[in-house]
Structures are given as structure tokens and as C-alpha cells.
Amino acid sequence: QRKSSKMLSFVVSFIWSLVGCHGLRPMTIRMGVVTPGNFKNGLTVEFQDSVWKILSFQQTKSARQAAMVRTKLKNLMTGATVDQTFRISEALQTANVEKADAIFSYVDGDNLIFMNSETFDETMIPAADIESSDLLREGMTVQLITWESNIVDVNLPTSEEYEVTYTEPGIAKAASTKQMKPATLDTGAEISVPIFVDIGDTIKVNCAERTYLERVQK
């Protein structure tokens, strides 16, 4: 018994010394269980032998049926999206993923190059595999999501500031209107903005939703 305790103590100390020598590791999101009543947009779950990202969900209930949760899921391995309905009492495994900060470095043909913020290793990802890749700009910090040694997703910042490079002339007195119009940002992305926004304005954008948040006063 004493030999086993000493051996366990040695192993723990050895592992701890390795971690200390090499600094922080990418953050690992440990696998657990989640019920549909606790879903959140962006949550990754394991379902049908793959990894899925919850894009949206809505809970429904009727007098004749138990509560259900209608969910739009994206398969992070194939890119396919599906509508799936879960019973409120069902349990799903949260995906065992790792998140590592990386900096968008440059474009190489149809691929985007990211540099790990700690190891400085470069990773090449096809632009077509990244949602809203047109909102990326050089030097932007993102999160690379890894599942079973595969990079399955890239999370942009929650929000980012962009300059409007083209839009139809704004209406100065329309600050309270809900009317929207298309606008081109300095990265080439196109989103909808209120009609009072003009060329040269700096705006804050929700990157995940590609939606206008506010005009930034400089």
C-alpha cells in the first residue's frame, strides 16, 4: 500500500513538473452532460457519432405534449446544418474540445494562416471552412476549436469595430429609424446597417450574428 502511494505521488509530481516547464496548455472543455433546457448558442455537443454546434434553439410546449426544444445544429466535421427536436428530458454529451488562441496572419490562396499565440506554430485552414471569414483582419485574435485532433471551428471575437467603406448616402435625421440598408466594411464583408450610417463611419459588429451593434464615436 505504501509503495503504491509513493508511486502515485511520484507520477503526480512528474506530470506537474512537465506542465510547469512547458507553460499553459490549450484550454480543454471536459465532456459532461447537458439537457436541452440548458442549451446555449455556440455550445458544442456530441450527437450521432459526430460533433455539433448549436446555432439556435426554441423551447415549445403544448397541453397535449411534453416540452420540446427545436434546435438548429451545425455538424462541425461536414459543415451540414440540420433541424433537430429534442425532448426536454433528454441528455446529450457536451463535446470534449480544446480551445487555443491564435492570430490571423495572412492569406495563402484559398487558405487562411493562423499562428498559435503560445507556440507560434502556424495552422492552415481553408477560408471556405470558416464562418464569416470575410470579417477577419490581419492581427485579429481568434479561438481554434479542436475535437479529436481535428480543428473543427474558428471562433471570431464577440464583437469588432469596422470602417464602412461603401453604402448609400445616410440620412442624418433618421437616427431612431429601424430601416436598414447594405454596407461594405473595410474587410470586404457586407452587412445591414441603419440608414443613418454613412461612408467613413466606424461601427461595432456582432461577428457571430453578422449584425450591426452601434456606431462608434471617434
Q: What is the mean pLDDT of each run of 10 residues along the chain (218 residues)?
A: 47 43 46 87 91 92 82 92 92 91 95 93 93 94 93 94 93 70 97 94 94 92
Instruction: Give the pTM.
Output: 0.72
What is the model's pLDDT at position 153? 92
Calpha distance 136→131 (Å, rounded) = 10
Give the list of residues 6+ apart from residue 164 with CB closer than 8 angstroms, or none: 183, 184, 185, 186, 193, 197, 198, 199, 200, 201, 202, 203
* CA torsion through residues 114, 117, 122, 125, sign: negative
Calpha distance 148→76 (Å, rounded) = 12
What is the model's pLDDT at position 6? 46
What is the model's pLDDT at position 31? 58
- Alpha-carbon Rg for the chain in angstroms: 22
Calpha distance 81→54 (Å, rounded) = 10
